[in-house]
Amino acid sequence: KPALLWLRNDLRLHDNPALAAALAGGGPVLPVYILDEQMGAASRWWLHHSLTRLQADFAQRGAALVLRRGDPARIIPELAAQTGATAVHAARSFEPALRDSDRAVDAALRPHNIGFHRHLSTSLFAPERIQTKTGGAYGVYTPFANACFSAGVPETLCPTPAHIPGLPGISGDTLAGWSLLPKKPDWAAGLRASWTPGEAGAHARLDEFLAKPVREYATARDIPALPGTSRLSPHVHFGEISPRFVWHRAAALGDAPGVKTFLKELLWREFSINLLWQHRDLRTRPIRAEFAGFPWAENAPALRAWQRGQTGIPIVDAGMRELWQTGWMHNRVRMICASYLVKHLLLPWQLGEAWFWDTLCEADEAANAASWQWVAGCGADAAPYFRIFNPVLQGQKFDPTGAYVRRYVPELARLPDRDIQSPWEAPPQILLGAGVKLGSSYPYPIVSLAEGRARALGAYAALRGK
Ligand code: FAD
């Protein structure tokens, strides 16, 4: 009997339990992908290329990947009826909208005796698996991570199938028809130069990282000018590589320096998934309820300056431009840029979350919202709001030679190391010599760091005093 394979954020053939289960039925398999209309622009760019490669990988093995758009609760039962499929296999998804749509799909299939089987594939653990001793969900990362280490990540992986018996003649959309790529202006040149979406690209990226950078990871991961982190996040987000596989490949390096730190980062991802599982509205509502009454500012010009990397704070502008140009930003700089938005500019974290959602290739409902809440001080196990990063000191510490700022803010490139993180403090002759004209070639800070900090602390005190 035929089986449907409904692909979501598991766009791969290797270690794909839903694919393995569909094949185990012994009949032909119809792989289908239904467009997620909520995706941001950079993610849509990634999806286009990822699906292009996945279509080729399926075709090479004998099956055609069918593309559809619309309501899954209509499309999946229709396809099942058309093909005579008796089972539908998919990855378990933890995003609230997908959970709702899964319930609807299940309800629509049930009367026809078609089984809807979901497989653990996009995370290391099912959220309900990692619980406190009293059966509750963890709200603090360290005990959560310890519980994950004790639980152990299952070691059996599903091999890449050599042949996938397909079901010809089922029509679908074309990728070109979905118009996922930008047209005018074509802002994706930097994305094309930075990434190879798809399963092969994901494996190459992991191999490269484990060959060497992982050994320096514990220290180099905080230096944005270095290729010190894996840059696997978009691949992992789209499921082009299985998190279990990443875990075991890294863990196989044993006590090599950096490995444990890297595994712990993978567990931050799990922690975010658990938080989204507990808090459906993680993207909009602060976990710490008192923050709902925070006296945020309204300031459209400041938001625009932040989005465009024109705040006058070099490390913030470098980060925001890296994001715009490459669809990714270094984690240390994400924290600096996010903190600057919610503290120095006093703008609501949801505005930052929304901008990252649109511009990150790996925009992830769980990791993005949980991280924004963490920086804003209203999340689980969050940094306290009153601990305010000074972006100049952060820049001097983590980009001491200014190499990162020079890469993304070329108008400051000729400033000496000493001045590059705070050009407004540089002597006039140094600025002149470096060709920097503050206020025209590069902005003055849109808010003074001291004033921004004092205003943020005042707002926090007002919240506490309520
Ligand atoms: P590595 O350091 O190599 O880490 C390996 C993997 O672990 C990553 O690929 C990622 O899957 C996971 N990971 C690492 N750090 C975190 C973390 N703090 N939280 C969750 N998972 C983590 N990550 C996303 O995947 N999607 C997002 O939309 C996202 N938005 C963020 C927004 C803000 C404001 C901040 C501060 C962080 C955000 N992160 C997000 C987390 C983190 O910045 C990225 O996962 C990381 O920078 C990706 O680079 P990498 O693959 O080189 O990471």
Stretch among 90-94, 136-140, 273-277, 425-429 having the lowest mean pLDDT: 136-140
349 lines ligand 1 (CB under 6 A): no
Take residue 141 and report the two structure tokens written for it: 């990362």
Closest atom, ligand 1, to C-alpha of 272: 20
What is the rounded distance in angstroms from the CA atom of residue 96 to the CA atom of residue 92? 12
Take residue 325 and report the two structure tokens written for it: 């140009």
pLDDT digits (tens, 9 = 90+) for 327-350: 999 999 999 999 999 999 999 999
454 neighbors 438 (Cβ within 8 angstroms): no
What is the rounded distance in angstroms from the CA atom of residue 313 to the CA atom of residue 457? 20
282 lines ligand 1 (CB under 6 A): no
What's the rounded mean pLDDT across residues 452-463?
95
Determine the residue type at 48: H
What is the rounded distance in angstroms from the CA atom of residue 303 to the CA atom of residue 54? 38
Burial class (CB in 10 A: 0-12, 13-18, 19+), 264: middle
pLDDT-derived band at 184 (thresholds 50, 70, 90) equals confident
Please name the residue whose Cα sits nearest to atom 27 of ligand 1.
Answer: 368
Take residue 179 and report the two structure tokens written for it: 């118009």
What is the rounded distance in angstroms from the CA atom of residue 34 to the CA atom of residue 47? 12
Give me the active site residues, please.
265, 268, 296, 331, 349, 372
- Higher model confidence: residue 464 or residue 97? 97
Ligand 1 centroid to residue 207 C-alpha, Å = 19
How high is the pLDDT of residue 187?
95
214 lines ligand 1 (CB under 6 A): no
How high is the pLDDT of residue 385?
86
**Does 278 have pLDDT greater than 80?**
yes
Ligand 1 centroid to residue 222 C-alpha, Å = 13
What's the rounded mean pLDDT across residues 365-373?
97
What's the rounded mean pLDDT across residues 147-153?
96
Domains of the chain: 3-120 (3.40.50.620), 123-153+198-278 (1.25.40.80), 289-465 (1.10.579.10)
Can you tell me the ipTM of this complex?
A: 0.99
Please name the residue whose Cα sits nearest to atom 46 of ligand 1.
Answer: 331
E strand or H helix at 306, and its extent?
Answer: helix 300-308
- SS3 string, 142-184, reads HHHHHHHHHHCCCCCCCCCCCCCCCCCCCCCCCHHHHCCCCCC
- Number of neighbouring beta carbons within 10 Å of residue 399: 27
Give the distance from CA 133 to its chain's centroid. Answer: 30
Stretch among 98-102, 125-129, 136-140 having the lowest mean pLDDT: 136-140
What's the rounded mean pLDDT across residues 292-313?
97
232 lines ligand 1 (CB under 6 A): yes
55 lines ligand 1 (CB under 6 A): no
pLDDT-derived band at 466 (thresholds 50, 70, 90) equals low
Radius of gyration from C-alpha coordinates of the chain: 24
